[in-house]
Structures are given as C-alpha cells and as structure tokens.
Homo-oligomer: A and B are copies of this chain.
Amino acid sequence: MAIAYLTRRVGFSAAHRYHRPDWSAERNRHVFGACNNPAGHGHNYVLDVTVCAPIAADTGFSVDLGSLDAILEEEVKGPLDHQHINHAIAEFADGGLIPTCENVVAWIWARIVGRMPDGVALHRLRLHEDDRLSVDYFGGGREPVCND
C-alpha cells in the first residue's frame, strides 16, 4: 500500500520564562537574556504534526482527521492554549525543564506518540515559536523509519 505523510497544523498562544533557581541572577540573565524577564513573555505557537501511514483503499485516508484533531485538542490545545507554560505544566515548573522550543516540542511528542491510531506512526513534530524560529523533533533520534 502507498504511504503518505500527512501534516496537521494546530496553534496555541502561551507565555513562558527561562530561569534556573540553582543559577545566580547574573548567570540567568547572561545565558537567557530577555527570556529571563520575571513574569515571562509569550508567543503564538504553531505546531505541525506529521503522521505517516498507508492510504486506505476505501476512504483514501491515511489517518482519520477527526480522531487526530481530538487528540491534539486534548493533549496540546487543552493544556497549553492561553496558559503560562511554567505555571500550567508540572514538568516546566520552577526548578524543572526550561520551556525552550526544543523542550516543549519534546514534551508534546511524549504526550501524543502513544495515542496514535492503529497503523499510524507519529513521524515529526515541528514547533514554530515565531516566524523566524522553529524546531523539528523525531522522538529524540534522527528521522525514524515509518512502520508500514
């Protein structure tokens, strides 16, 4: 069966701050710059979710979009949209992970990779923080083989 790579885009608006309590104020400012400002700042994040699956002969679908959208609503928009990531997500709380684009996209991967429908492989996540910065993530390794 022919394989297709479908990409669904979803957005969320969130705030974040970069800060390590085990570092001095000077070191935080030096390494994180304006991203260390105490109350944080924010972005209109855009996430591109690419899944890889064979095209079903009867429907012409590689994945059921209704199912995929429901997962993204529950696991991505629900917890992240209109939130301050450091305050809303336990892993990014003070002393935890820094909510960089890299860490946020890896967090989303871990959250949704096990929820893909049967026969559908999560292939790539691309998280855009703004028009000039994005991060691609393939589960932490290089571009994986699609299990077809």
Interface residues of chain A, those whose CB is within 8 Å of chain B, are 1-11, 13-16, 18, 20, 31-35, 37-44, 50, 55, 58-62, 65-66, 81-84, 86-88, 97-103, 105-106, 130-138, 140-143, 145-146, 148
Contact = CB atoms under 8 A, between A and B. Distances in A.
Given A4-B136, A13-B41, A39-B86, A61 B102 contact: yes
B4 A99 contact: no
14 contacts: A2-B141, A6-B102, A11-B131, A13-B41, A18-B60, A35-B82, A38-B84, A39-B39, A39-B84, A40-B40, A42-B84, A61-B102, A62-B102, A62-B135
The 8 closest A-B pairs by CB, nearest first: A42-B42, A2-B140, A39-B84, A34-B82, A60-B100, A60-B98, A15-B15, A5-B136
Nearest to A105: B4
Contacts of A3: 138, 140-142
Contact of A106 (B4, B83, B84, B140): B4
Nearest to A54: B140
